[in-house]
Structure 1
């Protein structure tokens, strides 16, 4: 009923609190669908915002959350279709935006899941990952806190260079 990548996103989001991994799994799904700018982008931005906030990058967190709220507001009906209470989620995100702006310390955020079947799927996925729904962020885990610094970026660098070469070729 729900895309597997979405279930994985919610599992990482609410279990291990690996917001970087949330971004990775949902971005791959979003790009495979070929959508330009939709609910997937907004959900990715929520995870990125929380990743930044947890690391103390309030400027990046604020910008991402503000953009996420705009995208998710425009796609509120998709949030309902995805088993969430869109109104409650947007309210929580607005509160978080204010907290970021006031430089309040990071706290975990849970999505209001409206569909019990979705919750069951997520809890099974989280259990397979060795965690539980609503787990607190492990602020001492360097692999969660600074994952962007620890990953292998060779494929990304190669792809960016290939795209740059294509653009240069088109211009000439």
Structure 2
């Protein structure tokens, strides 16, 4: 019923709090469609994960930007968010509370997305159990590989593509 990438997003969001991976799996799914056909509600979910990633790392400016954008998108795309088994109204309230926390420079704390579909929650619980994970466990703030994940990834393909594009522009 739900896309696998979305289920993977939920798993990483709630089980290992790997917000970087949340971003990766959902962005890859979102980009499968042509640019004109991409659905913006996926961006809202991606931005929640990115905002929490920034908040956990202490990048409050980045966290605020992402969370505010996410809140705006989730509010406008409530029907699509509800169709994903989430409670969009509760999610907007949770995001507004998180924006206040970041604005007030409060420390990061893990949050859960408000799943409204009981069948989705059962599926998520089963995924967590099969991986011996705890659904809704708090972030391990001492895990540097989790907290600083973006600094540890292999970016050689991105750098190579940027240089290729630069060379193409130089050639006219």
1:165 to partner: Cα distance: 4.5
2:30–2:39: 8 Å Cα contact kept in structure 1?
A: no
CA RMSD of aligned residues (A): 1.6
Match of 2:145 in 1: 143
- Deviation larger for 142-151 or 125-134: 125-134
Q: Which runs of 5+ in 1 are unaligned?
A: none
Match of 2:124 in 1: 122
1:111 to partner: Cα distance: 0.7
1 or 2 for the larger relative contact order (CA 8 Å, sep ≥6)? 1
How many residue pairs end up in the alignment? 170
Deviation sequence 1:5-57 (CA, Å, 0-9, x none) = 00000000000000000000000000012344501101000000000000111
1:106 to partner: Cα distance: 0.7
Q: Specify the SS of the correspondent of 1:32.
A: coil
Match of 1:69 in 2: 71
Deviation sequence 1:48-71 (CA, Å, 0-9, x none) = 000000011101100110111111
Instruction: Please give the alpha-carbon distance, in whole angstroms, between the structure 1 residues aligned to 2:72 and 2:131.
Output: 31
1:92 is aligned to 2:94: yes
What's the TM-score once normalised by structure 2's chain length? 0.92
Match of 1:156 in 2: 158
What's the TM-score once normalised by structure 1's chain length? 0.92
